[in-house]
Amino acid sequence: MSIGPNITPPLADAPAADPQQLETSRGFWAETWLRFRRRKLAMVALAYVLFMACVALFSPAIAGTKPIICKYKGHIYFPALGYFHRSWENPIFVTDHFRNVYPAKLKESDPESWALWPLVYQDPQRRVRADEWPDHPANPTRDKGHPNSLNLFGTTRAGVDVFAEMVHGTRTAMLVGFVSMGIAGAIGITLGAFAGYLGGWADMLLSRLIEFVMCIPPLVLILALIAVLPHPTIWHLMAVLGLTSWTGIARLMRGEFIRLREADFVTAARAVGVGWFGIMFRHIFRNGLAPVLVPITFGIASAILIESALSFLGFGAPPPNPSWGALLEAGRDNLQMWWLIAFPGLAIFFTVLAYNLIGEGLQEATDPRLRQPGN
Amino acid sequence: MSSYIIRRILLGLLTLLLITFFVYGLLRLMPGDPLLVRLEMMDPGKHMLPEDITRMREMYGLNDPWYISYFKWLGKLLHGDLGESFTQHAAVAHVIRERIGATLLLTLSSLIISYLLAIPLGLYATARNGRWDERTISVLLYMLYSLPSFVAALALQVLFAVQLHGTAFELPLFGMTGDHFNQMSFGGKFLDLFKHAVLPVACFTYGTLAYYSRFILANMQEVIRQDYIRTARAKGVGYWRILFHHAFRNTMIPLVTLIGLELPALLSGSIILEQIFGWPGMGKLFFESIRMRDYPTLMGLILMFSVLTLVGQLLADICYAFVDPRVSYE
Amino acid sequence: MPPVLEVTDLRTYFHTDEGVIRAVDDLTFRLEPGRTLGIVGESGSGKSVTSLSIMRLLSSNAKVETGRIAFLGKDLVKLPEREMQSIRGRDISMIFQEPMTSLNPVFTVGAQIMEAIILHQKVSKAEARQKAIDLMREVGIPKPEQRVDSYPHQMSGGQKQRVMIAMALSCNPQVLIADEPTTALDVTIQAQILEILRKLRDNRGMAIIFITHDLGVIAEIADDVLVMYRGEEVEYAPVLEIFSNPKHPYTKGLLACRPRLESKYRRLPTVDDFMQTVKEGTGFRVIEKKMDAARLHHLETAGRGRLLHPKTELAAIGHPWEEGYHAPDAKTVAEGTQPLLAVKNLEVHFPVRRGILARTVDHIRAVDNISFNVYPGQTLGLVGESGCGKTTTGRAILRLIEPTGGQVLYRGTNVAALSGSELRAMRGKMQIVFQDPYGSLNPRMTIEAAITEPMVIQGVGANKNERRDRAASLLKEVGLTPNYLRRYPHEFSGGQRQRVCIARALAAGPEFIICDESVSSLDVSVQAQVLNLLKELQDKRGLTYIFISHALSVVKFMADMMAVMNNGKIVEFGPSESIYKNPQEAYTRKLINATPKDDLELIRKRVAERAAVTK
């Protein structure tokens, strides 16, 4: 039973050391990292997120039907980059009528050619037909596409490989999290910092603005904003997510600035003549940033969640963009095809969980009450 | 206190005006208007005469610039009239009233269940802090908290509607009532409603439950570190009384804010869950309205939501003053 | 008499990530009914841990390793939690240091006192309430019938501490443990609380363990004294013995290093003058040092004597210069000297806003029309209790708070009217050292960054290397080693941090420094070192100080001229010595009387009185 305040004996004077040698001590972030590392679950979550980031980055090399690198008519090409953006695929393959079927066409048009292929020959956007690849039958369609050795996570009704679509969908999920929270963080931190530091009218205006954004249900605002755009892309979606989810960050930042504005070390800085810019950024911002990282991490989790929910409702990125949520939507109409629900569902769940765990770990690692006084 | 409340209400009215103005503009700027949407959906065999279209545009007020329409809408609102729904040919107030019951059934039961479970769960976890059962509960709650509701909804549908199909545990997939609801006896009606509500309520509840329990746990852990808890122990107060009487009373303070913020969610329901379960509530109404560009209904819904949000915040602040004797709005 | 509490070989250790901390190491004492044991020591000495060990209220990372705590023969260490619970509050009660946080904010004070009564006694609610009201009356809370329904936040700190005492007394305990009960309170309130405790002890025959860092308070209340140092007991003797004939060098040091109201020292002795500790295995060993005559002479004669205002001005403020009345080494500033700082009719008002439009309906006059001069090389003391406006005055002089009215003339320039860039240049000349050494250094900046920042702004030093060299020599000047430059503040103790703050204040080469309660949160032995440092720096650099403190004895030691503040006004202004010797105002007299005294005559008198009472 341990209730009541925690008392730990105070520090004695720092040890007198060799006066010749300059001593360095760990800075705040090194200390935070040390504390974060002690939390096993958070570390596992971090490893998972890093792994997913790698999957996203190397998705065309993991699953695809375009060579990672090939030599064709005397030139070296990287057709797989076309999965990132269509224009990154050299137009020669279009003019030579490849129609996205590389293995046969390569040999046919240039017998001298060679190619390095992705790990899994499956495409996230179309069905792989019979004999595109040696000993590879056509992907099953309708509800026959149970997971098997060629289609690890099964196929959709149209015969598109679920594994390939999920690998490429990782890109969307990772990007959505980072970009939208990057936008939200930038807006929230700036507005919160100025409102907190300036107080008075600026603060009053920001508080109204926050109230304003909060009064509109988030999904409503997002749906309406997306609907305004004639041709929404995944980037628009991220921008909209960022524009609607900065309020929590702004409030926290505002609170930190209000709290730290009155701190003695800030008064001390004012007393030596540090200007408002130096006070805000050299002194307050550095101390107020750590608590804001926590809602940003949680925000990444919720951005991923909202993106997949939107795709699920049919408001997500337009069709050629593979997305976990879109797979789930397909599963909703075909409940007996459990693999359309289980795999993307688990992927979303684990990713959200991982970010939440990282956020929790960060929270404890940066919590001033768990650290030595003043640190 | 009263001058504080009046101040807040005045500010709230200003915010409302801004919100409705902004949202109205946003809605009208959405590509497609109700007529175009309806034309797309209409039987290709039928045609609408151009003069009919003009007549209907006139009737819906779509020919005016949006800010003029907004002030017309506002003018009607001041007389208590939310306008007519474009799609349902009924007053917006009536359309909304029809759907409120279904949503309240979902949200209220979920709210009650999550509070009933979260408080004992949070207190138990506090009392067992650091032991294996608290660890297990915490991890489970964390996983529930991270589980997206639409994933859970689909998984439950697969389980209860597909895998358990034909067994006694089979639950209906969609809707709020069965096919012959009107012919059923009272008990039959109740059972039917219950069967339809189990899955949506479960999906609605678990996330809130996990969030509240973790919230209570975190706040309790904070509170039991306070000096006054040590004072209570020094008086000779027992462990459980300290938890329930001294610590929980202080944890109530942040909990009250949560309840205030919960108010709008009570009536807005959930777009995604109502969509999945075909639940005829407010969320579904909203989703349908946005797809059909039913401006009056959308505006009615957003107005209701904004009012509830503002009232909820105000209520939370007022409750604060009741729970925390240190707070007063003089 | 058989002891009511007997502690034998108590060892309490903390198990932390950094290793085992021996918070209490081999402690033995006994407490007889009706007597008061004072436990004195500095932070980290283990005195609070001792009390928490007795109450079994230690946090989970601490454990009583060995030893016996016998309460009327029962060993509390081994007692089941349930039985311990019934002893707490009924037989042994406790008062804590922080009255602000030690009461539950959501319950009325009456309910909190009643809870203790109902827990341990078979009484009805109405009876308990009546008892609570009686107890509140006994501890001196006015109108207890009404105050019983007040919430803690509606009471002042002193009243909350009275409520804590009432709660602790509610079941007539045999032992009362008071852990720094007056540290957070003003001296006048402290005097009242001590009076209440003395009265209660005599009326009820309670045994009290009184824990404090303040030897003056110990002299006022204790019968026996236990001195602790780094978890160990260094001396345990009756109070008169401790003050008249201290045996252990640490006790001697502790007694000598406090600035006392009647002290003649110009520099304070420090604990280091009496002893030296050397590490030995896991513990330490104390080696006694002899204070030689040369050192003593240095302490009495180093630096200058008091430097008073010009004679005409002294006469004008009602403390005219009289030959033979002042200390022989006291001097006055030459007539016609321009004051370095002249504060004229300074006002700081804070608006009180109310109503729907948040209109200003009233003002709090934090600083209410005050005027004074400070001459070059002088130290002006500002003394007063919390909320008197002394800190606001200091900050308004530096324009860290905007003054509402009046002038602050620094060498004739009105600081209150300076524009941004002029003010910035002026900040190089005027500096401040704050109270809280933990809060006043930016935790994300190394010591080097903290000290060089003012240099960059004020254009001191041509480049980074030069500034670093300057910072290194500043560190040496304030008694730290330059190899700390790259470290962050959190690795330093309070005293070391305060030295860094002083180095930062000196960085731009100021001529005027405001010390705002700069030593108040330091241990006495460290406080003595920092006070000496401030005096040395003044001699060496010709600095002018405004020294702000709530402690009259510290201000009297430091300041040439003293201003006593109350309710935003200067109540009395004059030479420190004169004000102490011959206070003119009732408020000043009250402050002086409330300051704990430890001269031997007084202690002897009290011991004799106590002996008469207990006979």
Query: Closest partner residue to C115 among B3, B230, B237, by Cβ?
Result: B237
Looking at chain A, the whole-number percentage of residues with pLDDT higher than 90 is 6
Rounded to the nearest angstrom, the minimum Cα separation between B113 and chain A is: 24
In this structure, of A74-83, A199-208, C82-91, C132-141, the range with the lowest mean pLDDT score is: A74-83
pLDDT score of A372: 45
Please tell me the distance from the alpha carbon of residue C564 to that of residue C576, in angstroms, as a whole number.
10
CB spacing of A14 vs C491 below 8 angstroms: yes
Question: Which segments of C422-484 are extended strands (E)?
Answer: 430-433
Q: What is the edge-to-edge ordering of all strands in the sheet holding C544-549?
A: C430-433, C512-516, C544-549, C379-383, C561-566, C569-575
Rounded to the nearest angstrom, the minimum Cα separation between A375 and chain C is: 5
Closest CA to C503 of C462, C533, C523: C533
How many domains does one find in chain B? 1
Query: Closest partner residue to C86 among B226, B228, B236, by Cβ?
Result: B236
From chain A, the residues in CB contact with C486 under 8 A are 22-25
Categorise residue A16: left if φ over 0, alpha if ψ from -120 to 50, beta otherwise.
beta
Q: Is C337 an interface residue toward A (CB < 8 Å)? A: no
Residue A199: band (very low, low, confident or very high) from pLDDT cuts 50, 70, 90: confident
Domain that holds residue A174: 163-370
Rounded to the nearest angstrom, the minimum Cα separation between A160 and chain C is: 53
Rounded to the nearest angstrom, the minimum Cα separation between A91 and chain B is: 34
Closest CA to A252 of A219, A214, A221, A290: A290
From chain B, the residues in CB contact with C164 under 8 A are 231
CA atoms within 13 A on the CB side of A102: 27
In the complex, which subunits touch C with 3 or more CB pairs below 8 angstroms? A, B
Residue B35 within a domain = no
The encoded tokens of residue C299 equal 């302490």
pLDDT score of A375: 34
Residue B135 within a domain = yes
- Residues C533-561: what's their mean pLDDT? 92
Tens digit of pLDDT for each residue in A136-177? 777 777 777 777 777 777 777 777 788 888 888 888 888 888
CB spacing of C431 vs A271 below 8 angstroms: yes
Residue reference for tokens 């008002």: C349
Residue A334 within a domain = yes
Query: CA of B164: which chain A residue's CA is closest?
Result: A336
Please tell me the distance from the alpha carbon of residue C298 to that of residue C384, in angstroms, as a whole number.
31
3-state secondary structure C198-213: HHHHHHHCCEEEEEEC
Query: Closest partner residue to A349 among B151, B276, B287, by Cβ?
Result: B151
Q: Is C423 an interface residue toward A (CB < 8 Å)? A: yes
- Residues C293-309: what's their mean pLDDT? 84
3-class SS at A59?
helix
From chain C, the residues in CB contact with A39 under 8 A are none
| C166 and C147 Cβ atoms separated by less than 8 Å | no
pLDDT score of C344: 92
Dihedral (Cα; B268, B269, B274, B275), 10-degree rounding = 40
Residue B71 within a domain = no
Residue B290 within a domain = yes
Query: CA of C495: which chain A residue's CA is closest?
Result: A13
Q: Is C7 an interface residue toward A (CB < 8 Å)? A: no
Q: Is C247 exposed, middle or buried (0-12, 13-18, 19+ CB in 10 A)?
A: middle
pLDDT score of B158: 83
From chain B, the residues in CB contact with C120 under 8 A are 236
pLDDT score of A116: 78
pLDDT score of B330: 60
Rounded to the nearest angstrom, the minimum Cα separation between C352 and chain B is: 11
Enter the DSSP assignment of C291. Answer: -
Q: Is A15 exposed, middle or buried (0-12, 13-18, 19+ CB in 10 A)?
A: exposed
* Residues in chain B with pLDDT values less than 70: 31-49, 59-60, 329-330
Query: CA of C163: which chain B residue's CA is closest?
Result: B231
Q: Which stretches of B34-131 are DSSP H helices?
A: 34-41, 50-60, 66-78, 92-127
| B118 and B209 Cβ atoms separated by less than 8 Å | yes
- For testing the chain A interface, which of C53, C430, C490, C493 should be mutated: the one with the most A CBs within 10 Å? C490
From chain B, the residues in CB contact with C168 under 8 A are 234
Closest CA to C55 of C12, C21, C16, C98: C12
pLDDT score of B26: 80
- Residues A113-127: what's their mean pLDDT? 78
Burial A217-235 (b: 16+ CB within 10 A, else e): bebbbbbbbbbbeeebebe
Please tell me the distance from the alpha carbon of residue A335 to that of residue C44, in angstroms, as a whole number.
66
Pairing of strands C561-566, C379-383: parallel
Residue B2 within a domain = no
Please tell me the distance from the alpha carbon of residue B23 to that of residue B26, in angstroms, as a whole number.
5
pLDDT score of C450: 92
C227 alpha-carbon distance from chain centroid: 18
Q: Which stretches of chain A are DSSP H helices?
A: 28-37, 40-57, 59-62, 92-95, 102-109, 162-198, 200-215, 218-228, 234-244, 247-261, 264-271, 276-278, 286-313, 324-332, 339-366
- Residues C146-174: what's their mean pLDDT? 89
Tens digit of pLDDT for each residue in C235-248? 999 999 999 999 99
**Residues 6 or more apart in contact with residue B5 via CB below 8 angstroms:** B314, B318, B329
**Residues 6 or more apart in contact with residue A85 via CB below 8 angstroms:** none
Tens digit of pLDDT for each residue in C209-223? 999 988 889 998 999
Domain that holds residue B247: 92-323
What kind and span of H or E run contains B314? helix B295-323
More confidently predicted of A222 and B153? B153
The sign one gets for the Cα dihedral C112, C117, C122, C123 is negative
Q: Is C323 an interface residue toward A (CB < 8 Å)? A: no
pLDDT score of A10: 55
In 3-state terms, chain B is what percent helix, strand and coil (to 5)? 75, 0, 25
The sign one gets for the Cα dihedral A206, A212, A218, A223 is negative
Please tell me the distance from the alpha carbon of residue A82 to that of residue A70, in angstroms, as a whole number.
13
pLDDT score of C238: 93
Query: Closest partner residue to C496 among A7, A14, A270, by Cβ?
Result: A14
- Residues C147-167: what's their mean pLDDT? 89
3-class SS at B116?
helix
How many domains does one find in chain A? 1
Tens digit of pLDDT for each residue in C404-456? 989 999 998 998 888 888 899 899 899 999 988 888 898 888 899 999 999 99
Categorise residue A99: left if φ over 0, alpha if ψ from -120 to 50, beta otherwise.
left
Query: CA of A327: which chain B residue's CA is closest?
Result: B151
Rounded to the nearest angstrom, the minimum Cα separation between C433 and chain A is: 8
Q: Which CATH number covers residue A317?
A: 1.10.3720.10
The encoded tokens of residue C28 equal 């033995």
Please tell me the distance from the alpha carbon of residue C22 to that of residue A12, in angstroms, as a whole number.
13
Query: Closest partner residue to A10 among C44, C484, C486, by Cβ?
Result: C44
**DSSP-derived secondary structure for B11-32:** HHHHHHHHHHHHHHHHHHHSSS
| C36 and C207 Cβ atoms separated by less than 8 Å | yes
pLDDT score of A203: 87
Residue B69 within a domain = no
CB spacing of C59 vs A5 below 8 angstroms: yes
Please tell me the distance from the alpha carbon of residue B262 to that of residue B260, in angstroms, as a whole number.
5
pLDDT score of A222: 78
Tens digit of pLDDT for each residue in A16-57? 445 456 667 777 788 888 888 888 888 998 999 999 999 888
Average pLDDT, chain A: 80
Average pLDDT, chain C: 88
Q: What is the edge-to-edge ordering of all strands in the sheet holding C405-410?
A: C359-374, C341-354, C405-410, C413-414
Pairing of strands C413-414, C569-575: unpaired
Tens digit of pLDDT for each residue in A259-316? 888 888 999 998 988 888 888 888 898 888 888 888 888 888 888 888 888 888 877 7
Q: How far is CA B58 from CA B77, B79, C429, in A?
A: 20, 22, 75
Query: Closest partner residue to C90 among B232, B236, B330, by Cβ?
Result: B236
The encoded tokens of residue C284 equal 């330490």
Q: Which CATH number covers residue B240?
A: 1.10.3720.10
CB spacing of C487 vs A23 below 8 angstroms: yes
| B268 and B282 Cβ atoms separated by less than 8 Å | yes
Residue B17 within a domain = no
- Residues A67-94: what's their mean pLDDT? 78
More confidently predicted of C1 and B81? B81
Chain B, chain C: beta-carbon pairs less than 8 Å apart = 80
Closest CA to B243 of B119, B327, B132: B119
pLDDT score of A374: 35
Dihedral (Cα; C577, C580, C585, C590), 10-degree rounding = 160
